[in-house]
A and B are shown apart, each in its own frame.
Chain A
Amino acid sequence: MTHENDESPQAVQHDDRNRRTALLLFVVYLAMYGGFMAWNVISPASMATPVLLGMNLAIVYGFALIVAALLLAIAYVVLANRGQAQ
């Protein structure tokens, strides 16, 4: 069952929980993304430092932001759909 246009107390509770989860995950990603921006502005030279398998910080952080977006998105879908199934 879905809660589309469903105003039952369970549906409202489920939507609220989803919204809280989504905002929490959003804040986690925002911190990572903001960290990337701040690091580039405050210490741009350090971005050239090799940190993993000879790749520099700029590349590793960039890849990490892309992978993190996917992992957080999957986590959200799993959590939201689990709540919906319950």
Chain B
Amino acid sequence: MIYTGSSTAIAIFIAFVSIVIGLSLFLGRKAKSAQGYYAAHGQIHWFVNGVAFAGDYLSAASFLGICGMIAFFGYDGFLYSIGYLAGWIVALFVVAEPIKKLGRFTFADALDSKFGSRGIKLSAAISTMVVSIFYLIPQMVGAGALVKPLLGFSHLQGVVLVGVVVIFIVATAGMVSTTWVQFIKGSLLVFFCAILTMLILNRGISTTPAPKNGTFAAWKVLPLNHFEGKAGYTLLAEEGPWKGLPYVRVKNDKGLVEIWRKTGDTLTETQFVETAIDADGKKTVFVNGLPQGLGAGQTDLRPVGNVTKLPGGKTETGPLGPAEFLSTLQQSEILLWGSDKLVDKRDGKAVTIDVYFQKPTTGDKVLVPGASPTFAGLQQSDPIKKLDFLSLMLALFCGTASLPHILIRYYTVKDASAVRKSTVIGIGSIGFFYVLTLFLGLGAMTGGTLDVTNTNMAAPLLAKGFGELPFAIISAIAFTTVLGTVSGLIMAASGAVAHDMLTNVFKVDLSDHNKVRAGKLVAVLVGIVAMILGVVFEKMNVNFLVGWAFNVAASANLPSLIMLLFWKKTTKQGITTAIIVGMLSSLGWILLSGQTYKSVYGLDAALAPFQMSQPAIFTIPLGFLTLVVVSLLTQKRAAAREALT
């Protein structure tokens, strides 16, 4: 879909970003020492830190990705909400206090507190870098998605804008300003999402939604033989890539081709996008046979997302309570959308055709796990899909406590009691937000505003359906969300390189001032890498990408953290090897999975060595096993070293 900017949205957006930058400049003056830059002198109040946890954690993925997944596939998106929150239990009950006691600035500090090993520091720093960059990708993709409807920018411009602002924030400030940015953004995000949820419930559900940003037209359903012998229409032969597919193509009296999908004994209206790339690299896009655009003789994709049947034959419900909203949807029929991708040859040129078709689905199938392509086999006893589901839930459960940008936040408060209290505040804010995601996603699913080509746009477009102002506020907050999370991640990556690698591994003798300067330089470099990856991964659902970051974090970091705390025979060699094996195995699996083949490389998913997309169920145990085996094999060396000391 084509998005146009609005002056209200731009004004509110500029105000938000200006406040964030102003705050960073003001607070940045306090971060002259390494202790100030990386750990805010350990003087952040527990309540502020708790809300900042929410700010760090409720990233673009939580807001854009989960809402988008729920809006397109139903309950499967909410699985991420449940898993993301459950991960905080591991963080609070298992990791938080020991990490606070053992470390100083970074996760590597804590892991290495007992051994003084360069191997541990190096492997932990590399793992921090990899996880941070993996987690940065969806944030940058989310930024690009947000800026499109907000400012009318392209994805590339959006990514560059976020990259530049974030690099500025991190390079000028450090942990104090990052914390305050997160505090403000976390509070605003939860508050305004609660308001948006109230608007959804007050609107209720209608079979003909009436969003304020456009008019909704019902999707046509015709009898199967509707076009046979019909004047003004010519049936096209079922040939080329269309052979054997459930489509009927007709040419109408204006010379335009229409594509209808055979669904039982009916024909249902589709939307289709044809994309051709010339020899000189110029891309031309046609929608439903006309050039894509908003001018005369052009057209654009229509927004989708509505309920087709309500219980009791009603056409609208009026305001609903939260439980009533969910139970009504459960008994309704909802129009979901599927897609097919075909490649045709025209004048010797390859033309890609994306056909988007109606999928009327009963609410009881939408509100249970198993409706998304990722978990589609869960309800049909497909063992691979069941394993994929278990693996994702395990990764989400174990991943939170292994995320470097979350772990470093334990060093910004003064003691263990503050760690506990701030984690509870974080869990409360995050949990409340995740409950809201279900209503936001389902509100988008039924509000008649979705862009059928982009799951990440569901939440901002939902807000746009309520008017320009809610849209501008929500988008500006979401954009600040991206800024905050990206700042935190770049801080973690910067600490890993400047503090762990330069100072502790390569023994570069840096003064306190130079350590901060090195950190800032690394922040700039990581920011540039994040911008490039944000462009490469544009089309992927950001939530799916975050799921992968959790897989890598949990596989690389959790076995070492847990065993260091609970198994006395753990050796430095065991930790180092477990981090490397966990990281490489999960990363390798993801890069060779069917999902990556299809979405990133554009290859046939069936060719991929791994059909499961979530590796954690194998790679986390592999990390533990590696640590145990290597630690047992190196006991003698550890004992000899202890005897010497």
A residues engaging B (CB < 8 A)? 2-5, 15, 18, 22-23, 25-26, 29-30, 33, 36-37, 40-41, 44-45, 47-48, 50, 52-56, 58-59, 62-63, 65-67, 69-70, 72-74, 76-77, 80-81, 84
Contact = CB atoms under 8 A, between A and B. Distances in A.
A2 B415 contact: yes
Contacts of A26: 89-90, 93-94
A40 B75 contact: no
In this complex, the interface size class of chain B, counting residues with CB under 8 Å from chain A, is 35 or more
B368 interface: yes
B620 interface: no
B550 to A, nearest CB: 15
A52 B330 CA distance: 13
A5 B100 CA distance: 10
B389 interface: yes
A66 B330 CA distance: 21
Contact of B327 (A41, A54, A80): A54
B517 interface: no
5 contacts: A29-B89, A54-B328, A73-B92, A80-B417, A84-B417
A2 B413 CA distance: 13
Is chain B's interface secondary structure helix, strand, loop, or mixed overall? helix
Contact of B431 (A36, A45, A54, A69): A69
A36 B369 CA distance: 11
Contacts of B328: 54
Contacts of A33: 86, 89, 393, 397
A58 B367 contact: yes
A69 B390 contact: no
Contacts of A18: 97
A51 B571 CA distance: 50
Given A3-B416, A44-B369, A70-B427, 11 more contacts: A23-B94, A26-B90, A29-B93, A47-B369, A50-B327, A53-B327, A63-B435, A65-B86, A67-B431, A73-B424, A76-B93
Interface in B422-439: 423-424, 427-428, 431, 434-435, 438
Contacts of B90: 26
B437 to A, nearest CB: 10
Contacts of B370: 44
A29 B438 CA distance: 22
Nearest to B75: A58
Contact of B367 (A56, A72, A84): A56
A59 B438 contact: yes
B323 interface: yes
A41 B379 CA distance: 8
B114 to A, nearest CB: 15
B420 interface: yes
Contacts of B368: 44, 47-48, 56, 58
B330 A69 contact: no
A22 B330 CA distance: 38
Contact of B420 (A52, A55, A62, A81): A81
B378 interface: yes
Given A2-B415, A45-B379, A69-B427, A50 B85 contact: no
B364 interface: yes
A85 B323 CA distance: 41
Contacts of B431: 66-67, 69-70
A40 B330 contact: no
B644 to A, nearest CB: 24
B84 to A, nearest CB: 10
Interface string B74-99: 01001101100110111011100100
A25 B101 contact: no
Contacts of B93: 22-23, 25-26, 29, 76
Contacts of B415: 2, 4
B324 interface: yes
B314 to A, nearest CB: 15
B393 A37 contact: yes
A77 B75 contact: no
A22 B438 CA distance: 30
A50 B151 CA distance: 43
Given A33-B397, A44-B378, A77 B420 contact: yes
Contacts of B416: 2-4
B30 interface: no
B369 A58 contact: yes
B369 A48 contact: no
Contacts of A2: 415-417
Contact of B101 (A4, A29, A62, A69): A4
B302 interface: no
B88 A73 contact: yes
Given A66-B434, A70-B431, A76 B369 contact: no
B539 interface: no
A29 B364 contact: no
B569 interface: no
B421 interface: yes
B386 interface: yes
A77 B414 CA distance: 16
B521 interface: no
A59 B79 CA distance: 10
Given A48-B368, A54-B330, A58-B75, A22 B94 contact: yes
B249 interface: no
Contact of A44 (B82, B323, B379): B379
A13 B435 CA distance: 38
B554 to A, nearest CB: 14
A50 B330 CA distance: 9
A81 B92 CA distance: 14
A41 B85 contact: no
Interface in B545-603: none
Contacts of B86: 29, 33, 65, 69
B369 to A, nearest CB: 5
B203 interface: no
A33 B489 CA distance: 28
B262 interface: no
B89 A73 contact: yes
Contacts of A29: 86, 89, 93
B518 interface: no
B259 to A, nearest CB: 33
The winner among B75, B82, B379, B397 for most chain A CB atoms within 10 A is B82
A62 B397 CA distance: 14
B424 A77 contact: yes
Contacts of B89: 25-26, 29-30, 33, 69, 72-73
